[in-house]
Amino acid sequence: MDSGVKPGSIGAAAPPDHVKFYRDHRAEIDPKYLTPDVLAAILRNPAGRPERIDATSCHTGSISIYLKVANVDVFRQELPRTAFAHPMAGVGDAAYWNPAGAVSAVKDPDRGCDISVLVETGVTKIRDEPGLSSTARGRSAS
């Protein structure tokens, strides 16, 4: 049975135009969630005003958010093959974080979100702490 997954994609059974998919379902990204308080919890220096790139992506400083078409069953199958992925409970139907600064989550039907934080020494407050849960890790910023 063909899952429709393209090689190299994580949980994605993407149609040719994912932007059109989200617009057709009246779901577009809103950078308002990158509030000054959220950014201050992640970055050591102000990042500037969040910018919307298109209907499915926005960024500010070293933080990027991407909406994607994703299949939760495929995402779960690929999770064990994703390097340094730490599963997260209570986020969508399936999610993970990794020490490189990425969070990826999926929610049926076919909704996915990737959040990337370019982790640079001295720029972000995020760091990998062995033995900490993902919740404690988020609070461990120095």
Residues 98/1, Cβ–Cβ less than 8 Å: no
Q: Total structural domains in the chain?
A: 1
Per the domain annotation, does 108 fall within a domain? yes
Residue 24: pLDDT above 60?
Answer: yes
Mention every residue, 6+ apart, whose C-beta is less than 8 A from residue 61. Answer: 39, 43, 47, 48
Per the domain annotation, does 119 fall within a domain? yes
pLDDT digits (tens, 9 = 90+) for 68-105: 888 999 999 998 998 899 999 999 999 999 888 889 99
Q: Which of 78, 74, 44 is nearest to 61 (CA)?
A: 44
Per the domain annotation, does 7 fall within a domain? no
Mean pLDDT of the chain: 74
Residues 101/64, Cβ–Cβ less than 8 Å: no
Per the domain annotation, does 5 fall within a domain? no
Give CA–CA dist 70/86, Å, rounded: 18
Per the domain annotation, does 116 fall within a domain? yes
Full domain range(s) for residue 114: 18-139
Per the domain annotation, does 12 fall within a domain? no
